[in-house]
Amino acid sequence: MSEKIKHFPGEELKARDIREGKVPAVKHRPRIRYLWSAGIAMSRFLEGLKKGKIVASTCEKCGRIMVPPRAFCEECFKSVDGYTSVKDTGTINTWSVSYVAGDASRIKEPILVAVIDIDGASKGMGLLHILGEIDDWKQIKFGMQVKAVWKPPEERTGAITDIKYFKPLKEG
């Protein structure tokens, strides 16, 4: 703020007063429902997950094998040339340990989240997912090899959660 300005507008409220209903206010909970179309590429990806496969799309111009698959290559700005399956193993590109839920509340058992570069796709083609079967999160290393643990076929619905989590691959 400039030293020339003497008064600073804004009437502060206390969070407790709001919580206890002491502040005149109007409450509202908009309920907006959605049916998002998965689209051309994602539909194939979800179908692939149901079959226990990770699907990628390919662009012949730049040569990339892309996960998550898209219908058009955003770098060459043209339609992709095809779809293919890649492996369900990969390496950890980056990871975190979350003690926070989506609504900012605290959770006791942390979620281990990672970006996993998928084997068979082009370099750096990462997928966001959860890590599991890890007793001590301090053991997680950048570049660690991991493998998808799938739900049994009859429980898969064509969702990112058809993969339960990625677990560390044992050495050797």
Partner 1 sequence: MATEKITDIRRMLHWPGHMETDYIYTLGIAGEKFFTEIKENGRILGAKCKRCGNVFVPPRLYCERCFEKTTEWVNLGTKGAVYTFTVAYVDINGTKLKEPIIYALIKFDDAEGGLVHKLGEIEPCEVQIGMPVEAVFKPQAERTGNINDIKYFKPQE
Partner 2 sequence: MFGKKRVAVIGAGMTLFRRNLKETGKELAWHASKMALDQAGLEPRDIQSVVMGTAPDAFDGVHMKGEYLADGAGAWRKPYSRVFVGGGTGVFVIDAGWWHVASGQFDTCLVVAEEKMSSCYPHPAYAFTTIFDPIYSRPLGVTLIWIFALEMHRYMHRHGIKKEEIALVSVKNKRNALDHPCAQLGANITVEDVLNSEIMCWPVQRLDISPTSDGAAALVLASEDVAKKLTDNPVWIDGTGWCIDTTFWTNRDLYYPKYVQCAAQMAYKMAGIKNPPKEIDVAEVYDPFDYKELHHMEGLMLARKGQAPKLTADGVTQRDGDLPINPSGGLLGVGNPIAAAGLMKCCEIFWQLRGEAGKRQVKGDPRTGLAQAWGDLMQYGSVVIMRS
Q: What is the chain's Cα-based Rg?
A: 23
Question: Are residues 119 and 90 in contact, defined by beta-carbon separation less than 8 angstroms?
Answer: yes
Instruction: Decide: 125 and 65 in contact? Cβ < 8 Å.
Output: yes
Residue 101 to residue 41: CA distance in whole angstroms: 29
Return the residue of 85, 87, 94, 133 that touches partner 2, per CB under 8 A.
Answer: 94
Note whether 120 binds partner 1 by CB under 8 A.
no
Closer residue to partner 2 (CB): 33 or 170: 33
Name which position in 61, 124, 153, 155 contacts partner 2 (CB under 8 A): 124
For 66, counting Cβ atoms within 10 Å of its Cβ (0-12 exposed, 13-18 middle, 19+ buried), the class is buried
Residue whose CB is less far from partner 1, 124 or 153: 153
By CB under 8 A, tell whether 135 contacts partner 2.
no
Helix (H, G, I), strand (E, B) or coil at 98: strand
Q: Per rule CB under 8 A, is residue 79 in the interface with partner 2?
A: no
Contacts with partner 1 by CB under 8 A: the residue count is 29
Q: Does 23 bind partner 1 (CB under 8 A)?
A: yes
Other C-beta atoms closer than 10 Å to the C-beta of 127 total 20
CA–CA separation, 71 vs 139, rounded Å?
38
Give the span between the Cα atoms of 95 and 129, in whole angstroms: 10
Which of residues 62, 87, 99, 153 is near partner 2 by CB under 8 A?
Answer: 99
Query: Using the rule CB under 8 A, which residue among 3, 135, 136, 154 binds partner 2?
Result: 3
Residue 42 touches partner 2, criterion: CB under 8 A: yes
Q: Identify what 47 binds: partner 2, partner 1, none; CB under 5 to 8 Å per kind.
A: partner 1
Q: Please provide residue 46's backbone torsions phi and psi, each rounded to the nearest 5 degrees.
A: -65, -40
Query: Which residues contribute to the site for partner 2 (CB under 8 A)?
Result: 1-5, 8-15, 18-19, 23, 27-28, 30, 34, 36, 38, 42, 46, 66-68, 70, 74, 93-104, 110-111, 113-115, 124-130, 137, 142, 159-161
